[in-house]
Amino acid sequence: MIKVENLKKRFGKLQVLHGVSFDTEDGKCTAIMGPNASGKTTTIKSILGLVVPDEGTITVNGMDVRKGFQYRNLIGYMPQIPTFPENITPRELINLTIKLRSYEKNYSEELIGLFEIEEHLDKPFSALSGGTRQKVNAVLAFMFDVPILILDEPTVGLDPVSSRKLKNLIKERKSRGVDVIITSHIVSEIEQLADDMVFLLEGQVIFEGPVKEAIEQTQGEDLEDAIAKLIQRQQAA
Amino acid sequence: MLINILIAGTVVVCPDCDVRGLKQAVAIAQPYDTILVKEGHYTEDSIIVDKPGLVIMGEGEAVIDANHKWEAILVIADSVTIKGLTVMNVPVSYIHDHAGIKFDGVSGCVVENNTLINNFFAIYLAHSENCLVKDNYIKSNATREMAAGNGIHAWYCHDLYITGNTVIQHRDGIYFEFVDNSFIEGNYSTKNLRYGLHFMFSDRDVYSHNTFVNNGAGTAVMYSRLISLYNNIFEKNWGGASYGILLKEIYDCKIYNNIFRENTVGLYMENCNRTPIEHNDFIGNGWALRVMANSQENMVSQNNFIDNMFEVATNSRRSFNKFNKNYWSKYNGYDLDRDGIGDIPYRPVSLTSYLIENYEAISLMLESYFLKLLDLLEKIAPSINPVGLIDREPLMEKVKHD
Amino acid sequence: MQLRNLSSGSRQLSLFEHYINDIVRGKWFIAYTVLLFALIYAVLMFSFETSQAVVGVMNLVIFIVPAVGLFFTSMYYYSRREFMEFILSQPVSRTFVYFSFYLAMSLAMIFSFILGVSVPMFIQGFAPEAIKMSLWGVLLNMIFVAISLMVSVLADDRVRGLGTVLLLWFFFTIFYDAVLTAVIIYFRDYPIEKFIPFVIAINPVDDFRISTLLSTDIAAMLGYSGAVIKHFFGRFFGVLYVAFLQSLWVLIPFLVGLWRFRKKDF
């Protein structure tokens, strides 16, 4: 479970986060949503320790992210459209990740089978298509029995079959009590996967709660409509 | 005198003879006698040859060993000939110029085909005239300049003929001070601690066909006039203060057909005047020519300057000497009218050479890309070169000397 | 959940190993090593004596090694910036990542130096000179990789970073000597010979150049200043001074880069 409290971050003159707070729960999928430049990426990067916040605290399963790096062992992360080093191969990258992690057991074999990428394992990344890279990205995030998954636009570039496989994987992990955090532009995907939603607008949380509640609260027809109304309401205020 | 020669006798010296030493032989010999020194090792020093016309001949390995006591042979009589001896182990002295074979105040001496090993001074001529020093092999094992004497040392002499000698590892190979009208020809001087040839206050001398290789400071010719210097080779005289030749206070000499190869400085001229420098080859030297501003009216012509790091260095922006019709390997002008003379004048003093000559510490920038950049800029814009020294008729092809 | 110890030695090595693999297989790296080998080999083929060979090699090394050390490190850093996010999202400390990156980059450059410079020298029979050259190769690469990494970490903008690196290359190979030359000319009436060794020794490229020249015939052409600097470099104090300065060139950029890297946003 992740607790974000009063997160503030400024890049130069631009205040990106104005005191963002939210919690995520184990066994649930939380979608972090918002238009471009709303602070989604900065928030996720703050959780991962890639961005150092100006103010606020983040705890991951009770560990303060600013004190040590060990907490990242608990997180499986799928970055958005990853650029992997072109000279090395997926197998080498998988092995590197295994070495950097402290898990005795990993599921890389099964996942490689699931996504059918055995034949690509020993080719350099420069020779791989975007879809294949994204599959490797998924293997890297899911191959350990982590309690937390952070997935940034996970289905981008995937074919429908793989996309479906990945969604099933997410559901399966969630059912096993994993805390899943996801960002996506595809609203239908969020509807399928997410239980809760954190909606960011201009660096502020304007909604936090179950997806259903968002629809009810705004009296939207569906999630897409609800989001539109959330934004309108905020701009009116 | 003729009668004397005709009736001259022979004294034989050998280890088992009645005469067992040179000193004894000289004592019993008559003037113009021949002393035949047979093969053997004679430990003797302070042999004073005071009878004129004696001919001392070594036969086989006739060794006079001074055994580090005193000098070996001192000749004070005229017309003495010393041939075929080996003289060794004359000790170093800081008070007395001990020599293997010394001539003092004589006329008409001959020193020929002797071998002089490990002597302080080897052959020493003082106040003498009309002497021939020929085909001697002279070698010392000196390592410190202060504790070494010269190979062939002459002072206050005239009409000497020094030829075909080999001098190795003395202080100066050949040393001339106040020696006029003499020849130094076909000698080979190498590994001497200071100069291969050290030449001062000596006028109207000729030296030709000598080779000076790898001497500590090269050769020096100073305070002299009317010297002819030709067909010599000055090679590999490399060190912080080494010169093919260092010329200082020189007037009216001639320097031609010499080869200066791989010396730190090929030819260094300080107050050198009215001296034509022609038909020489300067190859692979650090500096081919270094001309100080007080050198004037010299004519540098028909020389080949090939692959020298710096061709000419000078500390003056004006040129008081004439440079004409030389071949410069760094010249990259063209010759449209095909007359063998480049159409663009050549400035052999590069900007960097000028800077180093005037601001000595800039030499620390040698081989740096900054100096390379300056050279490049100078090629593009020759006008940044402040030096007036110029060869208006640079040759397109190497000069073929006669 | 079965966990291993996060501070085991194999972890430390694995990231370094990854960077080495990635760098050494890059086409630029291979091209550079082959080109360096070819150039040095050519220079040595046309050298007829040791001095000429050593100076020829030195000329190439002065020009190429700082340039490649600076540009290659910077370009590699920027090209792997996004992947850096992936690495940093793993349970690793930033110090560890930075150190692995620096070590891998320096060793890769040193490796190509040994292959491209020392090996041809060995083949052509200049073994003692090759050993000395290798030591300088190690030092120069460690310095220029550290400087370039610092600049890359400080400058988020790739164009600005590469621009800075270009200026630094110009500074070390040309500008420093130009300024020093101007100082020598300007202060000709002062006894600057005494402090010139101190100042010239600051630039690692000049240290390499002069110490190489002093070991060759050209030493004789450095005149009085050459004698002064030879004396200076020859003494224990001089060696200590040079060693101290050069280690600062490694340490200061390394530490400044690390300091920035540890609190940088990715």
Q: Where does residue C92 rank: exposed (0-12), middle (13-18), buried (19+ CB within 10 A)?
A: buried
Residue B364 has its nearest CB partner, among C55, C188, C225, at C225
Q: What is the DSSP letter of C49?
A: S
CA B120 to chain centre: 19
Would you list which residues of chain C are within 8 Å, Cβ to Cβ, of chain A? 1-6, 10-11, 14-15, 17-18, 21-23, 25-26, 80, 82-83, 85-86, 88-94, 263-266
Q: Where are the domains of chain A?
A: 2-236
How many Cβ atoms are within 10 Å of B54's Cβ, its own excluded? 24
B306: nearest Cα among B287, B330, B289: B330
Q: Are B238 and B217 in contact (CB under 8 A)?
A: no
Distance between the two ends of chain C, CA-based, in angstroms? Answer: 30
Quick one: which H or E segment has residue B174? strand B174-180
Chain B from 237 to 266: CB within 8 A of any C CB: 238-240, 242, 264
Chain C from 121 to 180: CB within 8 A of any B CB: 173-175, 177-178, 180
User: Which residues make beta-bridge pairs with B62?
Assistant: B40, B85
Contact across the interface for A49 and C25, Cβ inside 8 Å: no
Q: Does A125 touch chain C (CB under 8 A)?
A: no
Q: What is the pLDDT of residues B330-369, one digit of tens each?
A: 998 899 999 999 998 999 998 898 898 888 889 889 999 9
Residue B373 has its nearest CB partner, among C174, C188, C225, at C174
Averaged over B47-52, what is the pLDDT? 94
Q: What is the pLDDT of residues B128-142, one digit of tens each?
A: 999 999 999 999 998
Which tokens in the block code for residue B87? 């003289």
Pairing type for strands A179-183 and A196-201 reads unpaired
Which tokens in the block code for residue A105? 């057991």
Chain C from 208 to 247: CB within 8 A of any B CB: 209-210, 213, 217-227, 229
A219 pLDDT tier (thresholds 50, 70, 90) = confident
Alpha helices in chain C (DSSP H): 9-24, 27-45, 50-79, 81-88, 94-113, 119-123, 127-154, 158-170, 176-186, 196-200, 204-214, 223-234, 236-262
Which CATH superfamily includes the segment(s) B9-216?
Single-stranded right-handed beta-helix, Pectin lyase-like (2.160.20.10)
ipTM here: 0.90
d(CA A65, CA A53): 10
Q: Are A148 and A181 in contact (CB under 8 A)?
A: yes
Q: Does B30 touch chain C (CB under 8 A)?
A: no
Interface mutation target, options B215, B285, B357, B369, chain C, most CBs of C under 10 Å: B369
B159: nearest Cα among B201, B118, B206: B206
How many Cβ atoms are within 10 Å of C207's Cβ, its own excluded? 21
Q: What is the DSSP letter of A32?
A: E
Contacts of B309 in chain C (CB under 8 A): 218, 221
Which amino acid, residue B260? Answer: F
Q: Are C188 and C120 in contact (CB under 8 A)?
A: no
Q: Are B279 and B398 in contact (CB under 8 A)?
A: no
In the predicted model, is pLDDT for residue B1 greater than 50? no
Q: Are A214 and A233 in contact (CB under 8 A)?
A: no
Contact across the interface for C213 and B367, Cβ inside 8 Å: yes
Q: Does B370 touch chain C (CB under 8 A)?
A: yes
Averaged pLDDT of chain A: 90
How many Cβ atoms are within 10 Å of C119's Cβ, its own excluded? 16
Q: Are C1 and A146 in contact (CB under 8 A)?
A: no
Contacts of C227 in chain B (CB under 8 A): 240
Q: Are B152 and B122 in contact (CB under 8 A)?
A: yes
Q: What is the pLDDT of residues B55-95, one digit of tens each?
A: 999 998 999 999 999 999 999 999 999 999 999 999 998 88
Quick one: which H or E segment has residue A216? helix A211-218
Residue C21 has its nearest CB partner, among A77, A92, A99, at A92
Contacts of A125 in chain C (CB under 8 A): none
- Partner chains of C (3+ C-beta pairs under 8 Å): A, B
Which amino acid, residue A108? Answer: S
In the predicted model, is pLDDT for residue A217 greater than 80? yes
pLDDT at B74: 96
CA B368 to chain centre: 36
List of chain C residues with pLDDT < 50? 1-2
CA A123 to chain centre: 27
Residue B361 has its nearest CB partner, among C55, C184, C221, at C184
pLDDT at B3: 46
Residue A50 has its nearest CB partner, among C1, C22, C88, at C88
Chain B from 274 to 303: CB within 8 A of any C CB: 286-287
Contacts of A124 in chain C (CB under 8 A): 25
Contacts of B368 in chain C (CB under 8 A): 62, 174, 177, 206, 209
Residue C99 C-alpha, separation from nearest chain A C-alpha, in angstroms: 15
pLDDT at C46: 87
Q: Does A126 touch chain C (CB under 8 A)?
A: no
What SS3 class is residue A161?
helix
Contacts of C171 in chain B (CB under 8 A): none
Contact across the interface for A70 and C91, Cβ inside 8 Å: yes
B200: nearest Cα among B130, B165, B235, B150: B150
Question: In terms of CA atoms, which chain C residue is nearest residue B373?
Answer: C174
pTM as predicted = 0.85
Contact across the interface for B363 and C193, Cβ inside 8 Å: no
Pairing type for strands A55-60 and A196-201 reads unpaired
Length of chain B, please? 402
> Kindly report the CA angle at B228 between B223 and B229, in degrees rounded to 5?
95
Which CATH superfamily includes the segment(s) A2-236?
P-loop containing nucleotide triphosphate hydrolases (3.40.50.300)
Which residues are CB-neighbours of A78 under 8 A, at least 6 positions away? A137, A138, A140, A141, A149, A150, A151, A152, A154
Contacts of C200 in chain B (CB under 8 A): 364
Residue B379 C-alpha, separation from nearest chain C C-alpha, in angstroms: 18
Q: Does C202 touch chain B (CB under 8 A)?
A: no
What SS3 class is residue B336?
coil
Specify whether the backbone of B263 is left (phi greater than 0), alpha (psi in -120 to 50) or beta. beta
Which tokens in the block code for residue B103? 């001539």
Quick one: which H or E segment has residue A140? helix A130-142
In the predicted model, is pLDDT for residue A207 greater than 70? yes
Question: In terms of CA atoms, which chain C residue is nearest residue A86?
Answer: C22
Interface mutation target, options B364, B365, B369, B371, chain C, most CBs of C under 10 Å: B364
Contact across the interface for A103 and C25, Cβ inside 8 Å: no
Q: Does A73 touch chain C (CB under 8 A)?
A: yes
d(CA C115, CA A173): 50
Question: In terms of CA atoms, which chain C residue is nearest residue B265?
Answer: C221
Residue C181 has its nearest CB partner, among B238, B242, B365, at B365
Which residues are CB-neighbours of B187 under 8 A, at least 6 positions away? B162, B163, B164, B165, B166, B167, B173, B174, B210, B211
Q: Are C110 and C141 in contact (CB under 8 A)?
A: yes
B244: nearest Cα among B253, B231, B234, B254: B234
Chain A from 13 to 52: CB within 8 A of any C CB: 45, 48-52
Contact across the interface for C225 and B360, Cβ inside 8 Å: yes
Contacts of A140 in chain C (CB under 8 A): 86
Q: What is the pLDDT of residues A131-187, one digit of tens each?
A: 999 999 999 999 999 999 999 989 888 999 999 999 999 999 999 999 999 988 888
Residue A161 C-alpha, separation from nearest chain C C-alpha, in angstroms: 26
Question: In terms of CA atoms, which chain C residue is nearest residue B353?
Answer: C221
pLDDT at A146: 92
Interface mutation target, options C5, C13, C86, C94, chain A, most CBs of A under 10 Å: C86
The half-sphere exposure of C199 on its side-chain side, counting CA atoms within 13 A, is 17
Q: Where does residue B229 rank: exposed (0-12), middle (13-18), buried (19+ CB within 10 A)?
A: buried
Residue C171 C-alpha, separation from nearest chain A C-alpha, in angstroms: 30
Q: Are B202 and B182 in contact (CB under 8 A)?
A: yes
CA dihedral (C32, C38, C40, C43) in degrees, to 10, reads -140
How many Cβ atoms are within 10 Å of B94's Cβ, its own excluded? 6
> Kindly report the CA angle at C180 between C175 and C184, in degrees rounded to 5?
150
Question: In terms of CA atoms, which chain C residue is nearest residue A125?
Answer: C22
Length of chain C, please? 266
Residue A100 has its nearest CB partner, among C15, C263, C265, at C15
pLDDT at C8: 56
Q: Does C54 touch chain B (CB under 8 A)?
A: no
Residue C221 C-alpha, separation from nearest chain B C-alpha, in angstroms: 6
pLDDT at B77: 95
d(CA B224, CA B222): 6
